[in-house]
């Protein structure tokens, strides 16, 4: 509430070349459309909108044509995906340019319909309507000057509604489904974000910055750690900044553009030590800390700290758990009362524990600090090439919502993604691994806790060597958090196991199929990711010249609806279509081949299961040599998935055989029952085994195994305890 935090000099309206650019794909990729005025129907210009660049002006986007549906307010800036503008989907169908307004702002809100009941007048932003006016609902409005954005929830969150000058006699008039209102914000234009405007360089403590600038909207920290203060002489709200770029004050959790003094935090190479006391003057219960603490209440059962003694190093105290709320710099000295460190009460929540993600290698480029679990990091950075873990243990995930490849990180510096065994620069979510005093896990040979069981309470570099288990199908984590590794000696893919039951290998994410299609060779050009069957890929790309299979086994089809030539792909990289024996760059549909633990197929010499029959349960590289058949006219797949090849040694045309009956060769898509080359056919059960515990490690077998060499086994590797 109060004056708008970003208010600066107003730019002259007529000189602004208002422009917004819509992009179909994330990261400003794909087809785009530029717009410079109101547009009631954008459907003719693009089918979806995943990123937006606002070059100038303020805009309101609408989910549906004719300014209907969900509304999203955008200022000047880059929005690389729709989460950045709080979008619910990639649907943007109309847009409105919000007129420039350089004068005052005035609006009246009413408790009842038709301007009845209690009336309040607003001339500036309101962070919480409930706190300021004791109102949770507004039934009518009169906007007299300026344009406003109404938010459904406090702190400018939830659904948004554009209010232009005029009368709104009912909440339906501004497009809301109910009268619920949380906050208001004026729409103004600001000068100094993004490192623009007058600047001042500082290299030491400064008790009064007012003589150098009147407001502060962006900061660049070239080196060191700093504490900023809202008022002169190191008073008011405090903000902790590390090295990096802060293009607007929200980036440092600022409440306004007021920065009046700053302090350089001395570099500390040794240890950190601090004592917390329950009472003033270092009396009552005492606890000593030498590492970060995410929640003082959970760890020490204290909600208040009344005195402190910092023995070594500098600390940042946070008002709330998980490093949120007001911040206070604590330098080595005694603090006999909470007033001594600048707090208004004795409330203490946490002492910082941080992981920092950097977009570029060597801790360069845009960065983001995180201190707790985060299900979606995409709004904060587009790629991650280096990571600094100040303390704690973390699990990074390749995809949002804790999905995809996992990477376990301890405290330390990781200057490039190879250091944490990453496959790419994609980090989309992360989890803080809680500290645990003891660890206990049970491994079972079969699903649902059946078969042989072994229990571990410490690290194991090779499960095969220690437990002599060939297969692990279920787990029960009794105490602590564990990391399961794909290969012995803590190598390969990793899986975080938190306390709980894992009845099948799918439960810990061992199989997470994904395939990526690229229009150009060498994984270049427009691309599309897929994780399940797709009958028509034409809307997503026009050609396919390279494919990356991150996991699972797939069948690609030359035509839509799983028709035409078929190509079987395992996990791996295919930089051009010759690599998967493709005849052209046409890929129009795809199928994920499900995992199967056993395989059985019957082959018949004649149609309708007549003539001589043979049954096989493993791979066969040469049917003619093995069974002396030259023709096969019908098949019956009893278990598992198989790939039939036109020529010996797994060459030539391929046909996916799923469980079922194939009474004639037309049923599996062949043009005849006699094969080219030596008139021989090859059958192969090329599908993922569940968990391959090879050499003693827990692995999702995404390298489809040839059962003639080793049956669909599951071998586990190393279980590393975090």
| pLDDT tens-digit readout, 170-210 | 988 888 888 888 887 665 433 355 666 666 666 667 888 88
Which two tokens mark 270?
């040794």
DSSP-derived secondary structure letter, 182: -
Nearest Cα to 246, choosing from 119, 389, 380? 380
DSSP-derived secondary structure letter, 490: T
User: What pLDDT is stored for residue 458 in this prediction?
Assistant: 87
CA distance 449 to 107: 65
Which two tokens mark 622?
């040469």
Torsion over CA: 416, 417, 420, 421 (sign)? negative
Q: What share of the chain is helix, strand, coil (3-state, %, to 5)?
A: 10, 40, 50
User: What pLDDT is stored for residue 114 in this prediction?
Assistant: 92
Cross-strand pairs, 407: 396
Name the one residue in this structure whose structure tokens are 């989907």.
Answer: 89
pTM above 0.85, yes or no: no
Q: Yes or no: say if 65 and 94 are a contact pair by the CB < 8 Å rule.
A: yes
- Whether 262 shows a pLDDT value over 80: the answer reads yes
Q: Which of 5-9, 95-99, 262-266, 373-377 has the highest mean pLDDT?
A: 95-99
The contacts of residue 403 (CB under 8 Å, 6+ apart) are 397, 429, 509, 512
- Whether 508 shows a pLDDT value over 50: the answer reads yes
- Whether 43 shows a pLDDT value over 60: the answer reads yes
Which two tokens mark 93?
């169908």
Q: How many CB atoms lie under 10 A from the CB of residue 283? A: 12
Regarding predicted confidence, which is higher, 569 or 201?
569
DSSP-derived secondary structure letter, 677: T
User: What pLDDT is stored for residue 695 in this prediction?
Assistant: 23
Torsion over CA: 226, 232, 238, 244 (sign)? negative
DSSP-derived secondary structure letter, 99: P
With b for 16 or more beta-carbon neighbours within 10 A and e for fewer, the 641-672 pattern comes to bbbbbbbbebebbbbbbebeebeebeebbbee
Q: Yes or no: say if 564 and 557 are a contact pair by the CB < 8 Å rule.
A: yes
Order of strands across the sheet with 682-684? Answer: 589-593, 553-559, 563-569, 651-657, 642-647, 682-684
Regarding predicted confidence, which is higher, 67 or 598?
67
Q: Is 343 helix (H, G, I), strand (E, B) or coil?
A: coil
Residues, the chain: 722
Q: How many CB atoms lie under 10 A from the CB of residue 491? A: 15
Chain CA centroid to CA 239, Å? 26
Name the one residue in this structure whose structure tokens are 């968990």.
Answer: 691
Average confidence score pLDDT of the chain: 78
CA distance 262 to 259: 8
The percentage of the chain sitting over the pLDDT mark of 90, rounded to a whole number, equals 14
- Whether 699 shows a pLDDT value over 70: the answer reads no
CA distance 125 to 147: 12
Q: Yes or no: say if 236 and 344 are a contact pair by the CB < 8 Å rule.
A: no
Cross-strand pairs, 33: 22
Q: Yes or no: say if 442 and 455 are a contact pair by the CB < 8 Å rule.
A: yes
CA distance 689 to 637: 17
- First CA to last CA distance, the chain: 45
Which two tokens mark 366?
């845009």
Binned at pLDDT 50, 70 and 90, residue 558 comes out as very high
Mean pLDDT in residue range 334-352: 83
Q: Yes or no: say if 532 and 526 are a contact pair by the CB < 8 Å rule.
A: no
Q: Yes or no: say if 454 and 443 are a contact pair by the CB < 8 Å rule.
A: yes
CA distance 98 to 149: 11
Q: Which of 363-377, 488-502, 695-709 has the highest mean pLDDT?
A: 488-502
The contacts of residue 252 (CB under 8 Å, 6+ apart) are 219, 228, 239, 240, 241, 246
CA distance 400 to 389: 20
User: What pLDDT is stored for residue 376 in this prediction?
Assistant: 84
- Whether 300 shows a pLDDT value over 70: the answer reads yes
- Whether 575 shows a pLDDT value over 70: the answer reads yes
CA distance 556 to 539: 16
Order of strands across the sheet with 660-662? Answer: 613-616, 600-604, 634-639, 660-662
Mean pLDDT in residue range 156-163: 80
Q: What's the Cα-to-Cα distance from 394 to each of 356, 457, 720, rounded to whole Å?
A: 11, 20, 14
User: What pLDDT is stored for residue 576 in this prediction?
Assistant: 92
Alpha-helical (H) ranges within 396-499 are 463-467
Please report the DSSP string for 570-638 in residue order: -SEEESSGGGGT-SSS---EEEEE---S--EEEEESSGGG-S-EEEESS-BS-HHHHH--SB--EEEEE
CA distance 500 to 614: 45
Which two tokens mark 573?
């990289």
Beta strands in 340-449 (DSSP E): 350-351, 355-360, 364-370, 386-389, 393-399, 403-409, 412-414, 429-433, 440-444
Which two tokens mark 235?
């008073």
Mean pLDDT in residue range 158-168: 86
Q: Yes or no: say if 175 and 71 are a contact pair by the CB < 8 Å rule.
A: yes
Sequence-separated contacts (24+) of 83-89 with Cβ below 8 Å:
83/376, 83/378, 83/379, 84/379, 85/52, 85/61, 86/157, 86/160, 87/61, 88/63, 89/63
Q: Yes or no: say if 88 and 71 are a contact pair by the CB < 8 Å rule.
A: no
User: What pLDDT is stored for residue 721 in this prediction?
Assistant: 35
- Whether 704 shows a pLDDT value over 70: the answer reads no
DSSP-derived secondary structure letter, 414: E
Element counts in the chain: helices (H) and strands (E): 4, 54
Which two tokens mark 160?
């948004």
- Whether 11 shows a pLDDT value over 60: the answer reads no
Binned at pLDDT 50, 70 and 90, residue 713 comes out as very low
CA distance 40 to 68: 9
| 611-625 residue pLDDT tens | 889 998 888 888 888
Chain CA centroid to CA 638, Å? 40
CA distance 623 to 614: 10
Regarding predicted confidence, which is higher, 362 or 554?
554
The contacts of residue 439 (CB under 8 Å, 6+ apart) are 456, 457, 458, 479, 480, 481, 482, 721
Name the one residue in this structure whose structure tokens are 């609408």.
Answer: 62
Q: What's the Cα-to-Cα distance from 688 to each of 16, 452, 557, rounded to whole Å?
A: 59, 23, 19
CA distance 668 to 687: 18
CA distance 569 to 552: 9
């Amino acid at each position: 509430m109060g004056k708008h935090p970003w208010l600066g000099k107003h730019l002259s309206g007529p000189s602004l070349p208002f422009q917004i650019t819509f992009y179909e794909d994330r990261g400003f990729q794909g087809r785009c459309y530029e717009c410079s005025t109101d547009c009631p129907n954008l459907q003719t210009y693009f089918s979806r909108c995943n990123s937006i660049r606002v070059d100038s002006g303020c805009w309101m986007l609408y989910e549906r044509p004719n300014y209907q549906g969900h509304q999203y307010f955008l200022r000047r800036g880059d929005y690389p995906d729709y989460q950045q503008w709080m979008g619910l989907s990639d649907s943007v169908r109309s847009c409105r340019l919000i007129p420039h307004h350089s004068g005052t702002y005035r609006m009246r809100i009413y408790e009842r319909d038709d301007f009845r009941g209690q009336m309040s007048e607003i001339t500036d932003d309101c962070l919480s309507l409930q706190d300021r006016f004791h109102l949770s609902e507004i039934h009518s409005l009169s906007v007299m000057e300026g344009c406003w954005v109404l938010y459904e929830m406090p702190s400018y969150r939830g659904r948004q509604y554009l209010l232009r000058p005029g009368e709104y006699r009912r909440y339906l008039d501004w497009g809301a489904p109910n009268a619920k209102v949380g906050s208001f914000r004026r729409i103004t234009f600001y000068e100094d974000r993004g490192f623009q405007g007058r600047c001042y360089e500082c290299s030491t403590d400064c008790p009064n910055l007012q003589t150098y600038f009147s407001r502060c909207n962006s900061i660049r920290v070239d080196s060191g750690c700093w504490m900023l203060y809202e008022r002169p002489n190191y008073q008011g709200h405090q903000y902790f900044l590390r090295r990096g770029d802060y293009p607007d004050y929200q980036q440092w959790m600022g409440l306004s553009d007021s920065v009046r003094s700053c302090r350089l935090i001395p570099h500390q190479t040794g240890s950190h030590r601090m004592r917390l006391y329950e009472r003033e003057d270092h009396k009552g219960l005492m606890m000593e800390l030498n590492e970060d603490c995410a929640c003082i209440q959970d760890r020490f059962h204290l909600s208040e700290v009344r005195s402190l003694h910092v023995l070594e190093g500098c600390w940042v105290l946070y008002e709330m758990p998980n490093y949120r709320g007001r911040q206070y710099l604590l330098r080595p000295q005694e603090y006999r009362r909470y007033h001594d460190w600048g707090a208004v009460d004795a409330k203490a929540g946490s002492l910082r524990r941080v992981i920092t993600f950097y977009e570029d290698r060597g801790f360069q480029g845009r960065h983001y600090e995180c201190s707790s679990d985060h299900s979606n990091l995409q709004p904060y950075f587009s790629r991650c090439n280096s990571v600094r873990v100040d303390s704690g243990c973390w699990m990074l995930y390749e995809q949002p919502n804790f999905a995809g490849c996992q990477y376990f990180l301890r405290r330390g510096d990781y200057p490039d993604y190879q250091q944490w065994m990453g496959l790419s620069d994609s980090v989309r979510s992360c989890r803080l691994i809680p500290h645990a005093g003891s660890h206990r896990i049970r491994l079972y040979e079969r699903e649902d806790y059946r078969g042989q069981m072994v229990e571990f309470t410490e690290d194991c570099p090779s499960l095969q060597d220690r437990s002599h288990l060939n297969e692990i199908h279920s787990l029960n984590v009794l105490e602590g958090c564990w990391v399961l590794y794909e290969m012995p000696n803590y190598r390969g893919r990793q899986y975080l196991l938190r306390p709980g039951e894992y009845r099948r290998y799918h439960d810990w994410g061992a199989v997470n199929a994904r395939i990526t299609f690229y229009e150009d060779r060498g994984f270049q050009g427009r691309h599309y990711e897929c994780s399940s069957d797709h009958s028509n890929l034409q809307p997503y790309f026009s050609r396919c010249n390279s494919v990356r299979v991150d996991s699972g086994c797939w069948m690609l089809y030359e035509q839509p609806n799983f028709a035409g030539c078929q190509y079987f792909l395992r996990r791996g990289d295919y930089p051009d279509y010759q690599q998967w024996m493709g005849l052209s760059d046409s890929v129009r549909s795809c199928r994920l081949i499900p995992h199967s633990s056993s395989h059985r197929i019957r082959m018949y010499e004649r149609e309708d299961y007549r003539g001589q029959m043979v049954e096989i349960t493993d791979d066969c590289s040469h049917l003619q040599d093995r069974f002396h058949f030259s023709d096969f006219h019908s098949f019956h797949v009893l278990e598992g998935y198989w790939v039939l090849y036109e020529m010996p040694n797994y060459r030539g045309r391929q046909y996916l055989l799923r469980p079922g009956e194939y009474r004639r060769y037309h049923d599996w898509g062949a043009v005849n029952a006699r094969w080219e080359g030596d008139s021989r056919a090859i059958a192969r059960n090329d599908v993922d085994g569940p968990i391959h515990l090879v050499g003693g490690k827990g692995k999702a077998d995404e390298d489809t195994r040839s059962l003639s060499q080793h049956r669909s086994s599951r071998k586990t590797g190393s279980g590393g305890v975090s």
